[in-house]
Amino acid sequence: MTDYSIFIVDDEEVAREGVSLALNREYRVRSFESAEAAIDALEERVPDLVLMDIGLPGMSGVEALQAMKSRYPDIVVIMITAFEDVDTVIKAMRLGAFDYMVKPLKMETLLGNIKNALETIAMRKEIQGLHEKVLKENLPCFIGESNVVQDVMEVVKKVAASPDTPVLIVGETGTGKELIAKAIHYRSPLFKGPLVSMNCAAIPKELVESELFGYEKGAFSGADARGKQGLVEQAADGTLFMDEVGDLSMSAQAKLLRFLEDGEYYRVGGTRKRSVRPRVVSATNRGLPGMISDGNFREDLYFRLAVVKIEVPSLNERREDILLIAKHFLLEFNKKFGKSFNRISLPAETALKSHEWTGNVRELKNIMERAVLMGEGVELTPEHLNLRGRPPAAPATATASGEGAMPRLTADGVDFSALMASIERRYFTDALEMAGGNESRAAKLLGLSRDKFRYRRKKCLDDR
């Protein structure tokens, strides 16, 4: 027997018993002779499916359908009618009936219709489960009571339903643009397809075209002898997320525009026209309208990418959410590092709310991770946060109190990889803050080339 439950609503006892007998072997079935009784039973448990006669005494099937849908919009109802009254059937379908059947019922057809309905329910539950998983994994981006966050999530919900509409996500570094792209993908009909990400700023300009569209064997010196599939092909039947799209060269912009317009492209070195249609979601922290005015970004590409534009608010624009997010990270890192912090002191709350968050949610996460890792006690204080004047310095040695010390190596061991990753994130975050977000200056502070800085930054800050 499956775990699906079905309500049968019919005033004819013979009909109820016959359908119940046929379904009892596979499903959990309850039968009712009136719509009123079935609606009362919904208070105890909402079934996966309702089979309901239209011609019921008292409240009619159509009236009951409307009442059920108003309280439980996702409930799946198949209507049953003794004669095919077109007007009544149309009204029922408009009110949200999944399907209708005409008596006398053919059991084979009924079982087929139920199976189709339950497959729809299963897919809906799978989508919901995936979405909840994404929300849980990326919860800090979506935590909040501020109107701006609620507005963003409402747009995400609407645009996800249209799988071929391009979306442009704009916002400062660290606001969670990639997490928004994930939310769009996993709430869309394409959720079973791949989500392929491309950081346009991290790929050398001369390689962008071959990464995006692939290449044929022998296309250029050093090319793989077998050729290579491009990211647009990998994203077929799914979503292609292009981060930092403002860093594309004008040449790459022209090729991307042509692909967006008709879904056709050529691999580098190829002569065969190919066609694929992934959904394209792009993101940038740069002002594309200004780049258009300066001649550095194509206006026609901008309008093609930004059919829907989502502006992700900075943390400074949603200050009422700061403490909620900080408390979430406090719990997360307490568990990760085995610490005992259970509250944030009032002075620390004031410091968090008044700080200028240039790195947004990512910066807050890094600060909370370091504070919990390096600190001791049960209450998080401003000293743990060290929000002001935080020069990159060598890790502290242990003090008598253990305050600000590196975790001691005990017989239980230590998560060395997590510790080193946390330290690396600290230096990269501090370098970026000291350099005012300028990557070249931050790279010099750490003694790295700009390319190596970008690579390491992506690895330790973005891929989390």
Q: Does position 51 have pLDDT exceeding 50, yes or no? A: yes
Helix/strand/coil for 169: strand
Instruction: Say what the pLDDT of residue 278 is.
Output: 93
Cα–Cα distance between 138 and 174 in angstroms, integer?
Answer: 13
Average confidence (pLDDT) over 254-274: 89
Q: Does position 308 have pLDDT exceeding 90, yes or no? A: yes
The vertex-133 CA angle with 319 and 308, nearest 5°, equals 60
Secondary structure letter of residue 236 according to DSSP:
T
Q: List, in order of start, the domains of the chain with CATH numbers.
A: 5-126 (3.40.50.2300), 138-313 (3.40.50.300), 316-462 (1.10.8.60)
Strand partners for 360: none
Residues 6+ apart with CB under 8 A from 247: 200, 201, 286
Q: Which of 60-74, 124-138, 444-458 has the lowest mean pLDDT?
A: 124-138
- For tokens 């009362």, the residue is 40
Q: What are the two backbone dihedrals, phi and then psi, of residue 5, each rounded to the nearest 5 degrees?
A: -115, 145
Instruction: Say what the pLDDT of residue 396 is.
Output: 38
Instruction: Say what the pLDDT of residue 458 is.
Output: 74
